[in-house]
Amino acid sequence: MKIDDLMNLVTLVVLFAPAVFQGTKLLGEKLHYQKLVSFSKKAEQVVKALDQDQGLSNDGKKKLAITTLSAYAKKHNFNLTEEEITDYMEGAVRTIRLLEQVQSNNRAN
């Protein structure tokens, strides 16, 4: 390899390395965002399922939802604390209640 070829290679690496690093960073952020959206949807599914169970108290439903979502997070390598999982679960409850209220208002009108 000639010195000119080596210099050209170094120049190309220096020119394109920032773009490659930025692209890698953006891809990582997008994948992380998609994982969070996926977890949020799972939280809604769990809450909807438990909401229909009349045999459990609200506290029992909350504990079961947290246990279920914790297992799901562990299985799919989501690094979430119990507090974060609780936040997702409570957000799902608020979303479902809001949708129920909107549907109820639409039926009344």
Residue pair 43/88 in contact by the 8 Å Cβ criterion: yes
- Tens of pLDDT along 50-104? 988 888 888 999 899 999 999 999 998 888 898 999 998 999 988 888 888 888 8
User: Can you give the pLDDT at residue 46?
Assistant: 92
User: Is 19 a residue whose pLDDT tops 80?
Assistant: no
pLDDT recorded at residue 14: 73
**Are 95 and 85 contacting, i.e. CB atoms less than 8 angstroms apart?**
no
Which residues, in sequence order, are CB contacts of 96 under 8 Å at separation 6+?
A: 44, 47, 48, 51
Helices (H), the chain: 3-51, 58-75, 82-108
Closest to 71 measured CA to CA, from 55, 82, 61, 59: 82
pLDDT at 1 (0 to 100): 62
Distance CA 109, CA 102 (A): 11
pLDDT for residue 67? 93
- Containing domain of residue 65, as a range? 3-108
| CB 89 within 8 Å of CB 43 | yes
Q: If DSSP codes are grouped into helix, strand and coil, which group holds residue 95? A: helix
**Number of domains into which the chain is organized:** 1
Least confidently predicted of 12-26, 37-51, 89-103: 12-26
